[in-house]
């Protein structure tokens, strides 16, 4: 699945990183707690969150997140969009809630994996 596929599935809109929408996504992580993202995000992961602050962009950069999806119609400010564009990080917004967004992605083949330990 690519970032473009996710945009289509979630009726989303790309706000940043539009040159990177063909990147492949293997897993998904849905969380508003960046500490959980740091602990559980997997390789080639897309992050779904309702938390809309610059820390989300910084966390995504540290974890090599493929794209960020802001759920519930959340829209990042221009500073966040510019940060993501400079990093080549796709930012997507969708009006779907977190639960339905994760469910749609799971239904179409993305998983989050199991917690090791």
Given a cut of 80, whether residue 113 has pLDDT beyond it is no
Q: Homologous superfamily of 3-107 in CATH?
A: HprK N-terminal domain-like (3.40.1390.20)
DSSP per-residue string spanning 56-114 = HHHHHHHTT-SEEEE-TT----HHHHHHHHHHT--EEE-SS-HHHHHHHHHHTT-B--P
Task: Report how far residue 96's alpha carbon sits from residue 106's, in angstroms, rounded to the nearest whole number.
Answer: 14
**What is the pLDDT, as a whole number, of residue 112?**
78
Q: What is the mean pLDDT of residues 82-98?
A: 97
Domain ranges of the chain: 3-107
**What is the pLDDT, as a whole number, of residue 47?**
96
What is the crossing angle of helices 54-62 and 78-87, to 10°? 10
């Amino acid at each position: 699945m690519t970032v473009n596929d996710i945009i289509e599935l979630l009726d989303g809109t790309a706000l940043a990183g539009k040159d990177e929408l063909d990147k492949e996504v293997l897993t998904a992580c849905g969380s508003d707690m960046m500490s959980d993202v740091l602990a559980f995000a997997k390789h080639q992961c897309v992050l779904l969150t309702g938390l809309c602050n610059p820390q989300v962009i910084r966390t995504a950069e540290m974890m090599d997140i493929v794209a960020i999806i802001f759920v519930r119609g959340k829209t990042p400010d221009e500073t966040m969009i510019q940060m993501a564009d400079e990093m080549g990080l796709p930012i997507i917004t969708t009006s779907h809630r977190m639960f339905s967004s994760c469910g749609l992605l799971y239904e179409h083949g993305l998983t989050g994996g199991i917690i090791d330990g």
